[in-house]
Amino acid sequence: MLFSEAKKHKVVSSSSAATVGKVSSFLVDPVTRSVLAMRLKKTEDGHFLRWSDITAFGVDAVTVTGADKIGDGDDDVKELSGKDHRVLGKRLLSSAGDELGKVEDVDFDPATGALVALLAGTETVVAAERLLGIGSYAVVVRDEP
């Protein structure tokens, strides 16, 4: 699933069947190369939902056991929540020092949260296993030999 498709997914509590929020963006951990948490909007309380706390990331909605899973985020979530760690819209730089474009979308596995690929335009698709880091200046990926 692409970040662009997954954005605006409703977050629904399976205990109350009520919508408790809406996905607004994704926080990516460059070390594990997976989604650490999601930033939500339209919530009652708190703005972050850890990937490990969701029940499922479905085609139409994200399910959680209850609204109590949504919070202000632990330190690791807070650390990755700043603009410096955003992936989308950032320049994509290879470890050889060449710009490959701008990250326009990210493909991820909704079953695990693991990233599959970074998309820079329609032609440049970089496998997520090449991801080295996400910083204020660029998203860095290993250069292909």
Q: Which residues bind other proteins (CB under 8 A)?
A: 30, 90, 93-99, 132-140, 143
HEC profile of the chain: CEHHHHCCCEEEECCCCCEEEEEEEEEEECCCCEEEEEEEECCCCCCEEEHHHCCEECCCEEEECCHHHCECCCHHHHHHCCHHHCCCCCEEEECCCCEEEECCEEEECCCCCEEEEEEECCCEEEEHHHEEEECCCCEEECCCC
By beta-carbon proximity to other proteins, the closer residue of 10 and 102 is: 102
By beta-carbon proximity to other proteins, the closer residue of 106 and 134 is: 134
CB of 139 to other proteins, least distance (A): 6
By beta-carbon proximity to other proteins, the closer residue of 70 and 128 is: 128
CB of 30 to other proteins, least distance (A): 8
CB of 27 to other proteins, least distance (A): 15
